[in-house]
Structure 1
Amino acid sequence: MTRRAVHAASDGPLRLAVLEHYGETFGVDDKPWQAWRLADAPAQPGTHDVLMSDGEADEAVIARVAAAGATLIETDREGGQWIDTVRSPMGTWVFSVAADTDQPHSPAFVAVLLACMSLHFPAHDALCLARAWEPASADWPSDFARFPHVRHAALVAPEQGAAPFAPCPALGLYVVVPSADWIERLAPLNVPTVQLRFKSDDPAAVRAEIARAAKAMQGSSSRLFINDHWQAAIDYRAANGGEQSGIYGIHLGQEDLDDADLDAIRASGLRLGVSTHGYAEMLRVAAIRPSYLALGAIFPTTTKAMPTQPQGMGRFRAYVKLMQPVIPSLVGIGGVNAANMREVLAVGVGSAAVVRAVTEAGDVPAAVAHLVSLFPTA
């Protein structure tokens, strides 16, 4: 006799309330998500199925769920904490959070988890929201202390503290350009913040480009961040007067963090900015106390391949509300231009990054002046 699959217990009214309250803000998936206790799950789960295990699942189960494109959540208890391992087509994340109930997957947890996945949050972000959700509340989570800690891929162990990186003020207009030639063009315009995003695997070419950009910034009121090439930036700064070198900071993407020597960057005095694309990434990066967070991509962008769909203004507002008390310097990024700049700044961030709004402008000085004018005056 074929075993019949049985859905995990879920608080139906709560799930419906979350979808009704936030559906317009975040959008709702056309196909509903379903949750199953592992012992009661269908033999052949689908891409909108979430299987939940009390404790570790065996390798055969993990492989079966992965092959189906489904999501698996394994939950263990360690003392007063839940340890959640989230396996989905977007990778594996491990979190720890205070256990405020005796059930690893309570009906309220399941309801919020499924609702958030229906609101287009990936499984690892939906897990963070479900764990942070206030009991008997309809408010979107914004209390940082309730959110989980990232255990994998952690940048610092949850039980360890990290010294903060040097702080940043509000960075204002933040122009990202691909070459030192562009930095030289922007230096006389006193753009508040610029970033050199020079892509090359040639160490000599990287060092030469950084040197040109840094020399262009000396004596300028602009702040220069170097994307990715942290070691070359540290070396140049150390050999050329430290704070007077023309280099203000380093910007890293999520993919760069694992290989970067964060202690060396911190010790150099350089500021550190990091790109983030959702709750799990923000929580991961917050643990190292960077100088600023870049939040996005807010709008569609063609300047680089993004790991996630455009976040939209609803998510951007939620991210800012959560992170601003923790990391005050925030940058809105991704598809920002003169037409939407005021909307981005109205959320309360002190900086917004642009690329094509400057690099594709017919009159660069006029474009920069107009973009700067959109920022509120002190």
Structure 2
Amino acid sequence: MSRNGVKAAVDAALRDTLLARYGATFGTADKAWRVWAQADAPAELGNADVVLFDGEAEAATLARIAAAGAIAIESDREGGQWSDTVRSPMGTWVFSARADGDTAHSPGFVAVLLACLALHFPAHDALCLARAWQPGSLDWPVDFARFPQVRHAALVAPESRAKPFAPCPPLGLYAVVPTADWIERLVPLAVPTVQLRFKSNDAQAVRGEIERAAGAARGSASRLFINDHWRAAIDHHASHGNDSARSGIYGIHLGQEDLDEADLDALRDSGLRLGVSTHGYAEMLRVATIGPSYLALGAIFPTTTKVMPTAPQGLGRFHAYAKLMQPVVPSLVGIGGVDAARLPQVLAAGVGSAAVVRAITEADDVPAAVANLLGMFPAA
């Protein structure tokens, strides 16, 4: 790395045009991002620097970049594809994408990368957008086939095809609640989808909550999802012949951190639906390979119900995610900070479902709150 550095070649007009066109939709960062070719990077780096490598980087060089809080992108040509490794403070991702040319980091690629970083997209999502961008276009990418495939941390090898999970219809109002007590209160109110998010490491308590929640949902019009406790849910479901009508459980919901630990084959074989939380492009691409029953997209707005791995996505990102993913996973759920005032904006994306927590659990009059929320959904 040189003392002063020379920035990577960039199509500055394209970068500026993209920022002007999409800044109001996604918001723009205060810090000025800089992208450097490895041979021309300065000796001193900071958390607004990206270093591009043609091929693999040396471990010592990567360590210096990581210590500075900077980002490294290593790119290799493999046949007709680019293989990109993105290393940032948010972790390491490896992608493969169709090659549109012979230059790994063309001025146009750098322009889109810089623009997306400035639009608050994390480095791994900015890379996905830069590879998916149609050369010569100013339109936001929505062609799923152009987006990279995830190689690390892949749930399925890109060359493989997993059998998809059973699909979901539009899930409508989706109430996420902490106890079986709440499930017992909401099912008689005809809430179409309910989720038990019971946080406990006590196996007996977990089984008891699942049994009560399933008993409340059994024979009703409410679809019951169990959050996180997939083993106990599968066991309960199996004890009723893997029949949702008899078990009362419709599906499982998992977060990104749960997917690596879950037995996806066992979940698929059980016949239960699978919903997964996602927080951006790379996570959506990763999960799409297993054919989930639905994707939850968020958090759209600030939420206090759980610690989120990313900042609130906002409506601009949410609408972009929904437009990309609807043809791939038709059942989508908007989640995160959704209340009665925000629900119409969420449904305007055409997702057909929105998850609510405090809009119900903190309501003074729960039946009235549920009736109000249900009335905002299109008639079936």
* TM-score, reference length from structure 1: 0.99
State whether residues 3 and 44 of structure 2, in contact with CA within 8 Å, keep that contact through their aligned partners in structure 1. Answer: no
Q: Which residue of 2 aligns with 1:254?
A: 256
CA shift at 1:3, angstroms?
4.3
Residue 192 (structure 2) pairs with residue 192 (structure 1): yes
State whether residues 165 and 274 of structure 2, in contact with CA within 8 Å, keep that contact through their aligned partners in structure 1. Answer: yes
Q: Which residue of 1 aligns with 2:312?
A: 310
**Alpha-carbon distance in 2 for matches of 1:4, 1:356:** 52
**Alpha-carbon distance in 2 for matches of 1:195, 1:44:** 49
3-state SS of paired residue (1:60):
helix
Q: Which structure 2 residues correspond to residues 142-221 of structure 1 after superposition, within 5 A?
A: 142-221=142-221
Q: Which residue of 1 aligns with 2:64?
A: 64
**Alpha-carbon distance in 1 for matches of 2:3, 2:179:** 62
CA shift at 1:4, angstroms?
3.6
- Report Cα offsets for 1:242-277 as digits up to 9, x if no partner: 222100000000000000000100000000000000
CA shift at 1:100, angstroms?
1.2
**Alpha-carbon distance in 2 for matches of 1:143, 1:10:** 24
Q: Which residue of 2 aligns with 1:334?
A: 336
Residue 6 (structure 2) pairs with residue 6 (structure 1): yes
Q: Which residue of 2 aligns with 1:357?
A: 359
3-state SS of paired residue (1:251):
strand
User: What letter corresponds to residue 211 of structure 1 in structure 2?
Assistant: E
3-state SS of paired residue (1:75):
strand
Q: Which residue of 2 aligns with 1:366?
A: 368
3-state SS of paired residue (2:346):
helix
User: What letter corresponds to residue 148 of structure 1 in structure 2?
Assistant: P
3-state SS of paired residue (1:191):
coil
Q: Which residue of 1 aligns with 2:50?
A: 50
User: What letter corresponds to residue 20 of structure 2 in structure 1?
Assistant: E
CA shift at 1:78, angstroms?
1.2
- C-alpha change, 1:3 and 1:66, in structure 2 (3 Å) is closer
User: What letter corresponds to residue 264 of structure 1 in structure 2?
Assistant: A
**Alpha-carbon distance in 2 for matches of 1:320, 1:248:** 23
**Alpha-carbon distance in 1 for matches of 2:115, 2:131:** 13
**How many residue pairs are counted as aligned between the two chains?**
377
Q: Once superposed, which parts of structure 1, at least 4 consecutive aligned residues long, lie more than 4 Å away? A: none
Q: Which residue of 2 aligns with 1:222?
A: 222
3-state SS of paired residue (1:224):
strand
Q: Which residue of 2 aligns with 1:125?
A: 125
Q: Which residue of 2 aligns with 1:115?
A: 115
Q: Which residue of 2 aligns with 1:38?
A: 38
CA shift at 1:77, angstroms?
1.3
State whether residues 4 and 43 of structure 2, in contact with CA within 8 Å, keep that contact through their aligned partners in structure 1. Answer: no
**Alpha-carbon distance in 2 for matches of 1:337, 1:109:** 39
Residue 292 (structure 2) pairs with residue 290 (structure 1): yes
Which one of the candidate residues 337, 348, 351 is aligned to 2:350? 348
State whether residues 96 and 148 of structure 2, in contact with CA within 8 Å, keep that contact through their aligned partners in structure 1. Answer: yes
Q: Cα RMSD over matched residues?
A: 0.8
- Report Cα offsets for 1:210-258 as digits up to 9, x if no partner: 0110011111100000000111101100102422210000000000000
**Alpha-carbon distance in 1 for matches of 2:192, 2:3:** 64
**Alpha-carbon distance in 1 for matches of 2:31, 2:188:** 53
**Alpha-carbon distance in 1 for matches of 2:73, 2:227:** 35
User: What letter corresponds to residue 270 of structure 1 in structure 2?
Assistant: L
**Alpha-carbon distance in 1 for matches of 2:45, 2:105:** 19
**Alpha-carbon distance in 2 for matches of 1:223, 1:269:** 14
3-state SS of paired residue (2:252):
strand
User: What letter corresponds to residue 323 of structure 1 in structure 2?
Assistant: M
Residue 27 (structure 2) pairs with residue 27 (structure 1): yes
- Report Cα offsets for 1:13-57 as digits up to 9, x if no partner: 100111010011111111211100111101111110000000110
**Alpha-carbon distance in 2 for matches of 1:120, 1:41:** 23
Runs (5+) with no aligned partner, structure 1: none
3-state SS of paired residue (1:338):
coil
**Alpha-carbon distance in 1 for matches of 2:257, 2:30:** 31
**Alpha-carbon distance in 2 for matches of 1:167, 1:218:** 20
Runs (5+) with no aligned partner, structure 2: none
Amino-acid identity (%) = 74
